[in-house]
């Protein structure tokens, strides 16, 4: 205790224990996987080491007497708007240890959050609003390639569809659970997502860690991922699912061109006998629109765009915080580009990364998304407090960890129920918002940017979004 | 259907409860020689010591018999069995008919042929009546010799000591508690008793009880030649099964009444349970008289169920004893003094300072017995390992047992599930 | 009958069930007073969180169909309630002979730290759901008929 490396002195959090309430039951000690709390044999009481605390609030949540509050360390450096404490502390850390700073979850930096600059319309006078409790409201969404036109023929005196439809993923709500690999989160949560998706009639994405055979039974509600590492990819895996998903941000060492990508897409389609749609996931980067166009032309049925707020289990902090562009902009640009090129119908567009509430979902759809992936929100639903220390593998909430004693903190039954509740709650809100805009189906909102207005955006941003400023 | 139970000890209570689980209506008649409704026989030492009063010795609530529709005939001795006629004969000649009969007559204190043992001032200590008699005379007793250093003898000694009497214990074996406990445990208990002021004489026995001219007890002359002054003698050498009725009626007997797995005697519809029965002991794998309370209850229960038509096997009891002496708890379960050279493995732990002793007996990956002194909290968990024959295949598990950390979380999964939660997985 | 069942797969070893039990059986019904003061006077939780490595499970009396403890009880302090099926303990009757503690193969019976009495789960007769079950943050305990 007498001397510790400088970076531990400037720790982020302080454990404040109310001794008036604390009974020394040691529940906090047992809960904290960072070993902050400990039993002091000399003092015969529970003590703590602030330097180790990551601010996950697990102990606070479990302390039976409410004795703990986790606070920000109020210790302040001399004010300097250029050298913010964040930079100073990072330099200390690296000066002590060298190496790459690690971070997790999405980019937490104060870049503009465009969702918060976009506002929804509501019907007044000229068009009536719709009450979703009284009138049917359609949230059902089909993901996959839609034909350019439909042809009909007569069969036994009845008209029937002649055009052969591409495989589609049917979603009761335009929401899916993001790719979070088995490995970054544990089996309990995979079961929970699989069961929740099944109960809700939506899908979840396995992420790149492969699929446990116990989860094959949830196949109809599963998208399997084929990522750079090709972890656990084989025919059974691909065929277990309702959709497959190629590409994760890291480079695939067998893909250097759109042509290579086309080969992979068709290899997947062959392997699954054209039964399931193939989705290609890209990160929201500078020329996302052009890339998306290439992907659609290469035969992808779905394009998934992951913004820089999107969660990750472990990433170098500098990359997490400085690479990529906001997903909102990428989405608007992609949707517009595909429309301009007349190929918007050939693929569905899904956006992921940083969706926090049902209004974000509605705005994303108005900007042109067919559906959204929720990752962080799903984790928050099961307890995640965004402490952003997933990379340690010691998540005290039992989420981003495979340590058996921690992983069991997620009871799949409880987690499933929370996920179901969350999506149902959002769905009700989406219906309300749709009704408020006088719409009775999510289809009528898709790409309907007229329903959006922007506040505080400049001309260029307005142009990219294709949205009028508020008041216009 | 009429059930008749001879004897009103704990096996009789077990039988009533066993019958009533299946048959709430038929007549049950209980005939007992004693004058009291069922009491906790082992409680008589607590009673004599003054720790509990008359109100707390009863094993069941006052309304037990009426609630269970049991007719209780007290102070009536059954003198003969007429098996052919399905009748029993009572002392006055009266007869009672039965459809199913349970012999639960327990045991009588064994009285060795010691000169001077007949007459005043010699007591036994197995019934409430004995305890009441001692209680009534206690004030006049200064010195008492207890012959027999087994469980009952020590309990009698302790109660008298508590009442301010100077007590000497005489034991034939080299140490007290030789039957149920091992050397070390016996010695720890003996040490504790000696420290408290008991006189203990081992390796010897009473040769003669000396009496005054008026016939009152004067003292006990030991085989060793020593003479112990005493105002009274308590004989607690052992209890022998009350076999007379069974023997005379021609039932098969050995040391006790022989019963099969259903606890039926050699005669159909006649069952035996408790201290009088020689029933299956699953540790030794053969029939044996194990005169202990839990076995008496469970044999009573199973025989009751079988009389009511259940056809259940008595899976066998295990010997177990728990006795405390002035805050020093001792427990022994199962096989605690295994014969040498038959592959038994013994692990012991002694902490003389703290008066803690633990001995575990293993055989082929199973725990078969244990002795615990001082720290007895884990006794039940050890009993579980013994009773359910939980295989101990991992060294880690064995180490935990040896270190007083037995846990069912280390049982094989199926066994855990069978006993705790059929849906749960532990590994 | 309804019993408390544990699912070790999701028991996280937090021991909140023990604290809940302690509080329920305290005079004050206040965790802080129960833990700080009444525990010093011998108050004990009736349940025990067993540990074996990182596997934990909270275990209490099974309220057996044919209880070993009742077979062994010499004083009539333990009886099986015919209606509820609960194995009922009457402290007044107990003489502290530890026969039941020895006989219960599940180790569900504890010694009172001060009195010559046992301590045992009563399934919280005043509650519809036992305190331990309500307190478990991970639904590792259920109160159900099986
Ligand atoms: C002082 C003492 C302490 C003990 N402590 C323990 C202990 O701590 N732990 C333990 O496990 N065991 C202990 N035991 C042993 C235990 O009490 C017996 O194993 C148990 O009581 C046996 O019960 P039972 O029903 O078989 O017979 P009993 O309790 O002996 O009952 C038999 C009954 O039958 C009656 N009877 C006999 N013959 C006739 C007849 N012909 N007609 C009518 N009635 C008849 C008797 O009067 C008696 O009431 C102790 C015993 C004693 C005496
Ligand atoms: S959990 Fe709460 S009451 Fe218990 S030791 Fe920790 S701070 Fe104290
Ligand atoms: S549990 Fe989390 S919030 Fe509590 S001390 Fe540990 S790291 Fe800090
Ligand atoms: S104390 Fe033990 S033997 Fe008695 S009912 Fe409970 S679990 Fe069964
Ligand atoms: S409260 Fe629940 S999770 Fe915590 S130790 Fe008890 S049973 Fe296990």
Segment A277-284 shows an average pLDDT of 85
Residue of C109, C110, C121, C123 to mutate, ligand 4, most atoms within 8 A of C-beta: C109
B49: domain CATH number is 3.50.50.60
| Pairwise CA distance, residues B36 & B13, whole Å | 13
User: Based on the domain organization, do C88 and C45 belong to the same domain?
Assistant: no
pLDDT band at A249 (very low <50, low <70, confident <90, very high): very low
Cβ–Cβ < 8 Å for A361, A372: yes
B109 CB within 6 A, ligand 1 = no
Residue A320 has a pLDDT of 83
Structure confidence by residue, pLDDT tens digits, B190-239 = 999 999 999 999 999 999 999 999 999 999 999 999 999 999 999 999 89
Q: Is residue B316 part of a domain?
A: no
What one-character-per-residue DSSP string does B10-46 give?
HHHHHHHHHHHHH-SSSEEEEE-SSSSS-B-GGGHHH
Alpha-carbon distances of B27 from B16, B65, B76, B97, rounded to whole Å: 11, 12, 18, 11
Chain centroid to Cα A126, Å, comes to: 37
Percent of chain B with pLDDT over 90: 85
Residue B56 has a pLDDT of 93
User: Based on the domain organization, do B104 and B244 belong to the same domain?
Assistant: yes
DSSP secondary structure code for residue C100 in this structure: H
Cβ–Cβ < 8 Å for B134, B48: yes
User: Based on the domain organization, do B230 and B247 belong to the same domain?
Assistant: no
| CB–CB contact C31 A413 (8 Å) | no
- Boundary (domain end) residue, out of B276, B307, B338: B307
- Boundary (domain end) residue, out of B207, B237, B267: B237
Domains in chain A, number: 2
Domain boundaries, position B371: 327-421
Residue A205 backbone dihedrals phi, psi, to 5 degrees:
-110, 130
User: Based on the domain organization, do A91 and A198 belong to the same domain?
Assistant: no
A15 CB within 6 A, ligand 3 = yes
Q: Is the pLDDT of residue B341 over 70?
A: yes
Q: Is the pLDDT of residue A2 over 80?
A: no
**CB count in 10 Å sphere of residue A169:** 26
Number of Cα atoms under 13 Å in the Cβ half of residue A28: 30
Question: End-to-end CA distance of chain A, in Å?
Answer: 62
More confident residue, A157 or B357: B357
Give the residue from chain C lying closest to A408, CA to CA: C10
| CB–CB contact B388 C97 (8 Å) | no
Per CB-CB distance under 8 Å, the chain C contacts of B59 are: 74-76
| CB–CB contact A23 C139 (8 Å) | no
Q: Is residue B315 part of a domain?
A: no
| CB–CB contact A23 C138 (8 Å) | no
- Closest partner residue to A65 (CB to CB) among C14, C31, C139 is C31
Instruction: Looking at the complex, report in whole angstroms how far the Cα of residue B262 sits from the nearest Cα belonging to chain C.
Output: 17
Structure confidence by residue, pLDDT tens digits, C74-114 = 999 999 998 899 999 999 999 999 999 999 999 999 999 99
C99: domain CATH number is 3.30.70.20
| Pairwise CA distance, residues A173 & A428, whole Å | 10
Domain boundaries, position A75: 6-99
Cβ–Cβ < 8 Å for A114, A328: yes
Cβ–Cβ < 8 Å for C53, C113: no
Q: Is the pLDDT of residue A165 over 90?
A: no
Compute the residue count for chain B.
427
User: Based on the domain organization, do B208 and B351 belong to the same domain?
Assistant: no
User: Based on the domain organization, do B344 and B403 belong to the same domain?
Assistant: yes
Q: Is the pLDDT of residue A248 over 50?
A: no
User: Based on the domain organization, do C103 and C83 belong to the same domain?
Assistant: yes
| Pairwise CA distance, residues A430 & A363, whole Å | 10
User: Based on the domain organization, do B383 and B331 belong to the same domain?
Assistant: yes
Would you state the structure tokens that stand for residue B423, as one six-digit string? 């849906």
Cβ–Cβ < 8 Å for B110, B17: no
Residue A228 has a pLDDT of 53
User: Based on the domain organization, do C23 and C48 belong to the same domain?
Assistant: yes
User: Based on the domain organization, do B301 and B338 belong to the same domain?
Assistant: no
- Boundary (domain end) residue, out of A43, A73, A99: A99
Beta-carbon contacts of B297 under 8 Å, excluding residues fewer than 6 positions away, are B10, B11, B13, B14, C70, C71, C72
Query: Chains meeting A at 3+ CB pairs closer than 8 A?
Result: C
Residue A425 has a pLDDT of 96
- Boundary (domain end) residue, out of A40, A70, A99: A99
Segment B96-110 shows an average pLDDT of 95
For atom 4 of ligand 2, the residue with the nearest CA is A25
Q: Rg (Cα) of chain A, in Å, rounded?
A: 24
Domains in chain B, number: 3
What one-character-per-residue DSSP string does A410-462 give?
S-HHHHHHHHHHHHHHHHHHHHHHHHHTT-SBGGGTTT-GGGEEESS--HHHH
**CB count in 10 Å sphere of residue A420:** 18
| Pairwise CA distance, residues B147 & B150, whole Å | 9
Structure confidence by residue, pLDDT tens digits, B377-398 = 999 999 999 999 999 989 999 9
What one-character-per-residue DSSP string does A274-324 give?
T-S-EEEEEE--TTHHHHHHHHHHTT-SEEEEE-TT---SSEEHHHHHHSS
User: Based on the domain organization, do A298 and A441 belong to the same domain?
Assistant: yes
Q: Ligand 3 centre from B346 Cα, in Å?
A: 46
Would you state the structure tokens that stand for residue A113, as one six-digit string? 């959050």
Q: Is residue A427 part of a domain?
A: yes
User: Based on the domain organization, do C70 and C107 belong to the same domain?
Assistant: yes
Residue B420 has a pLDDT of 84
Give the residue from chain C lying closest to A27, CA to CA: C14
Strand order in the sheet with A468-469: A118-120, A452-454, A468-469
Please, what's the b/e burial string for A221-249 (b: 16 or more CB within 10 A of its CB; e: otherwise)? bbbbbbbbeebbbeeebbbbbbbbbbbbb
Please, what's the b/e burial string for C15-45 (b: 16 or more CB within 10 A of its CB; e: otherwise)? bbbbbbbbbbbbeeeebbebbeebbeeebbb
What one-character-per-residue DSSP string does B85-114 give?
TTEEEETTS-EEE-SEEEE---EEE-----
Chain centroid to Cα A226, Å, comes to: 18
Per CB-CB distance under 8 Å, the chain B contacts of C55 are: 409, 426-427
Domains in chain C, number: 2
User: Based on the domain organization, do C67 and C96 belong to the same domain?
Assistant: yes
User: Based on the domain organization, do A236 and A94 belong to the same domain?
Assistant: no
User: Based on the domain organization, do A85 and A234 belong to the same domain?
Assistant: no
C134: domain CATH number is 3.30.70
Q: Is the pLDDT of residue B162 over 70?
A: yes
- Boundary (domain end) residue, out of B277, B307, B337: B307
| Pairwise CA distance, residues C44 & A64, whole Å | 17
Number of Cα atoms under 13 Å in the Cβ half of residue B121: 22
Domain boundaries, position C55: 1-60+126-146
User: Based on the domain organization, do A67 and A152 belong to the same domain?
Assistant: no
User: Based on the domain organization, do A220 and A309 belong to the same domain?
Assistant: yes
């Amino acid at each position: 205790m007498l001397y510790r490396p400088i970076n531990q002195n400037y720790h982020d959090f302080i454990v404040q224990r109310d001794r008036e309430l604390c009974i020394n039951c040691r529940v906090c000690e047992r809960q904290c996987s960072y070993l902050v709390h400990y039993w002091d044999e000399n003092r015969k009481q529970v003590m703590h080491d602030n330097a180790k605390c990551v601010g996950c609030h697990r102990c606070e949540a479990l302390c039976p007497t409410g004795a703990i509050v986790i606070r920000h360390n109020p210790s302040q450096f001399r004010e300097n708007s250029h050298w913010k404490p964040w930079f100073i502390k990072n330099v200390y850390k690296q000066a002590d240890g060298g190496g790459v700073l690690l971070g997790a979850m999405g980019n937490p930096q104060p870049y503009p959050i465009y969702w918060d600059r976009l506002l929804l319309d509501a019907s007044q006078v000229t068009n009536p609003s719709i009450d979703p409790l009284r009138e049917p409201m359609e949230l059902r969404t089909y993901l996959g390639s839609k034909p350019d036109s439909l042809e009909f023929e007569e069969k036994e005196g009845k008209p029937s569809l002649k055009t052969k439809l591409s495989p589609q993923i049917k979603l009761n709500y335009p929401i899916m659970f993001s790719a979070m690999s088995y490995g970054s989160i544990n089996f309990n949560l995979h079961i929970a997502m699989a069961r929740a998706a099944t109960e809700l009639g939506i899908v979840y994405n396995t992420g790149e860690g492969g699929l446990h055979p116990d989860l094959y039974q949830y196949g109809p509600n599963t998208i399997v991922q084929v990522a750079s590492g090709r972890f656990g990819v084989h025919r059974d895996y691909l065929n277990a699912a309702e959709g497959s998903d190629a590409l994760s941000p890291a480079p695939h060492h067998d893909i250097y061109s759109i042509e290579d990508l086309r080969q992979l897409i068709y290899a997947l389609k062959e392997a699954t006998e054209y039964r399931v749609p193939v989705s290609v996931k890209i990160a929201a980067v500078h020329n996302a629109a052009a890339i998306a166009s290439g992907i659609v032309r290469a035969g992808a049925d779905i394009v998934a765009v992951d913004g820089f707020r999107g969660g990750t289990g472990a990433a170098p902090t500098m990359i997490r915080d400085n690479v990529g562009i906001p997903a909102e902009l990428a989405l608007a640009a992609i949707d517009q580009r595909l429309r301009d090129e007349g190929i918007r119908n050939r693929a569905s567009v899904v956006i992921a990364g940083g969706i926090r509430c049902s209004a974000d979902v509605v705005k994303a759809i108005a900007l042109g998304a067919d559906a959204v992936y929720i990752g962080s929100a799903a984790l928050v639903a099961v307890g995640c407090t965004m402490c952003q220390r997933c990379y340690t593998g010691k998540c005290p909430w039992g989420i981003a960890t495979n340590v058996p004693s921690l992983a069991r903190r997620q009871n799949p039954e409880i987690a499933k129920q929370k996920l179901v509740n969350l999506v149902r709650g959002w769905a009700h809100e989406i219906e309300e918002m749709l009704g408020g805009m006088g719409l009775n189906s999510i289809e009528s909102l898709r790409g309907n940017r007229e329903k959006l207005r922007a506040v505080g955006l400049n001309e260029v941003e307005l142009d990219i979004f294709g949205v009028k400023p508020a008041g216009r | 259907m009429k059930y008749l139970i001879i004897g009103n000890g704990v096996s009789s209570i077990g039988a009533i409860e066993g019958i009533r689980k299946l048959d709430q209506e038929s007549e049950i008649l209980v005939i007992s020689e004693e004058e009291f409704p069922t009491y906790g026989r082992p409680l008589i030492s607590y009673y004599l010591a003054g720790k509990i009063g008359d109100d707390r010795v009863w094993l069941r609530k006052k309304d037990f018999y009426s609630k269970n529709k049991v007719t209780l005939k007290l102070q009536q001795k059954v003198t003969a069995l007429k098996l052919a006629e399905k009748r029993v004969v009572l002392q006055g000649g009266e007869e009672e008919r039965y459809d199913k009969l349970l012999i639960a007559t327990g045991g009588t204190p064994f009285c060795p042929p010691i000169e001077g043992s007949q007459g005043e001032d010699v007591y036994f200590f197995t019934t409430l009546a004995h305890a009441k008699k001692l209680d009534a005379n206690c004030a006049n007793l200064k010195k008492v010799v207890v012959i027999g250093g087994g469980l009952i003898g020590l309990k009698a000694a302790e109660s008298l000591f508590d009442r301010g009497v100077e007590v000497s214990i005489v034991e034939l074996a080299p140490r007290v508690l030789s039957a149920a406990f091992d050397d070390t445990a016996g010695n720890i208990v003996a040490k504790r008793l000696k420290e408290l002021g008991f006189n203990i004489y081992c390796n010897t026995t009473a040769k003669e009880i000396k009496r005054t001219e008026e016939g009152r007890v004067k003292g006990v002359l030991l085989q060793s030649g020593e003479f112990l002054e005493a105002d009274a003698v308590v004989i607690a050498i052992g209890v022998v099964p009350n076999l007379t009725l069974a023997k005379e009626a021609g039932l098969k007997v050995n040391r006790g009444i022989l019963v099969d797995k259903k606890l039926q005697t050699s005669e159909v519809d006649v069952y035996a349970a408790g201290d009088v029965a020689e029933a299956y002991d699953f540790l030794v794998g053969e029939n044996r008289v194990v005169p202990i309370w839990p076995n008496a209850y469970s044999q009573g229960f199973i025989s009751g169920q079988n009389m009511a038509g259940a056809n259940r096997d008595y899976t066998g009891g295990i010997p177990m004893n728990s006795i405390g002496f002035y805050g020093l708890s001792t427990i022994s379960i199962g096989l605690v003094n295994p014969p040498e050279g038959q592959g038994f493995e013994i692990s012991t732990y002694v902490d003389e300072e703290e008066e803690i002793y633990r001995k575990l007996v293993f055989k082929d990956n199973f725990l078969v017995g244990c002795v615990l002194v001082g720290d007895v909290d884990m006794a039940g968990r050890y009993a579980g390992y013994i009773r359910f024959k939980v295989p101990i295949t991992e060294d880690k598990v064995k180490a935990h047992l040896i270190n007083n950390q037995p846990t069912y979380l280390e049982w094989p999964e199926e066994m855990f599930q069978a006993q705790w939660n059929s849906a749960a997985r532990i590994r | 009958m309804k019993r408390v069942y544990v699912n070790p797969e999701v028991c996280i070893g937090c021991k909140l069930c023990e604290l809940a039990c302690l509080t329920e059986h305290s005079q004050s019904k206040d965790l802080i007073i129960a833990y700080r003061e009444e525990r010093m006077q011998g108050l004990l939780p009736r349940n025990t969180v067993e540990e074996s490595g990182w596997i934990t499970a909270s275990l209490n009396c099974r309220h057996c169909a044919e209880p070993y403890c009742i077979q062994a009880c010499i004083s009539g302090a333990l009886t099986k309630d015919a209606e509820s099926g609960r194995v009922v303990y009457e402290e007044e009757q107990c003489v502290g002979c530890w026969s039941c503690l020895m006989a219960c193969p599940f180790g569900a019976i504890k010694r009172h730290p001060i009195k010559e009495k046992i301590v045992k789960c009563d399934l919280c007769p005043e509650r519809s759901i036992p305190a331990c079950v309500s307190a478990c943050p991970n639904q590792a305990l259920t109160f159900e008929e099986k």
